[in-house]
Amino acid sequence: MAEALLARGHRVLIVDDLSSGRKENVPAGAEFHELDIRSPDAAALMREAGVEVLFHHAAQMDVRRSVADPVHDASVNVVGTLNLLEAGRRAALKQVIFASTGGAMYGEQTAFPADEEHPAQPLSPYGVAKLAVERYLYFYHREYGLDAIALRYANVYGPRQNPHGEAGVVAIFLDRLLADREAVINGDGLQTRDYAYVADVVAANVAALGRPGFGIYNVGTGRETTVVELYGLLAAALGVTRPPTHGPAKPGEQRRSVISSELVGRELGVRVGTTLEDGLKKTAAWFAARAAK
């Protein structure tokens, strides 16, 4: 995202507490600030740096941790967001483009793929927090005239994804396959997800830049892929024949998740078009090159 904005001539400030991000990923030309979004210093930066657009991707991103510690999840994902919004709306902030969730927003779906009209019935504190922020953004739009776009992402994957922790099954599988370590599938592996390549997600963010008003858009492929199928594609991309190991199912795990991106295509002109096969090959090549260093 930062590289795309720099290429368009924008001044880019990056705020990250490095709890999971890596400073080496900060591109040349961007200004980096190691801050917690809940902090007074982050609020001061919003006020004093003349920030006009906030691309808000900072989050406690682990669904399972949100279940184990919903207070922490809300502290980061709701209160942290409000800290930035309150500072920004008193200064130069004109627009917020928010990384919401499609995977956790709709709960156990009743329609496949889910469009933006599907009932929002999140089954985790993480999803609840994302929905709350969407509602806060609508309030800030109506009360203060702040333009806001919420992009409900599918499962985003691609180069540089962090393979540690619970988030990012593509990165986790690649990291384990390249290290010749056991890759574990929870349960039967027939649970499905919609996997969106990072470049398509960046394109949606860029398309939202400067769009007036308030809007909510899914960013996904509309394609369901089982975890078993995903593992097979990744193993094939690396030329690995080792089968996966099946572990116990995770209690409460959503069975099917897939979202439609027809609206973002019609209104923002974004095509979430990278095929899973091509995206996984590019991602596998990046992980393999890193492992070879």
| 157 among known catalytic residues | no
Distance separating alpha carbons of residues 209 and 95, to the nearest angstrom: 8
CA atoms of 75 and 66, how far apart (whole Å): 11
Q: Which of 126, 140, 153, 217 is catalytic?
A: 126
- Given a contact cutoff of 8 angstroms between Cβ atoms, the answer to whether 127 and 107 are in contact is yes
DSSP summary character for residue 75: I
- State whether residue 280 is helix, strand or coil: helix
Q: How far apart are CA 199 and CA 90, in angstroms?
A: 33
Residue bearing tokens 């009932």: 119
Give Cα 76 to chain centroid, integer Å.
15
Phi, psi of 190 (to 5 degrees): -95, 0
DSSP-assigned beta bridge partners for residue 23? none
C-alpha dihedral sign at 50, 53, 58, 64: positive
For the record, the structure tokens of 271 come out as: 């095509």
Q: To which H or E segment does residue 150 belong? A: strand 147-153
CB-count burial class (<10 Å; 0-12, 13-18, 19+) for 261: buried
Catalytic residues: 126
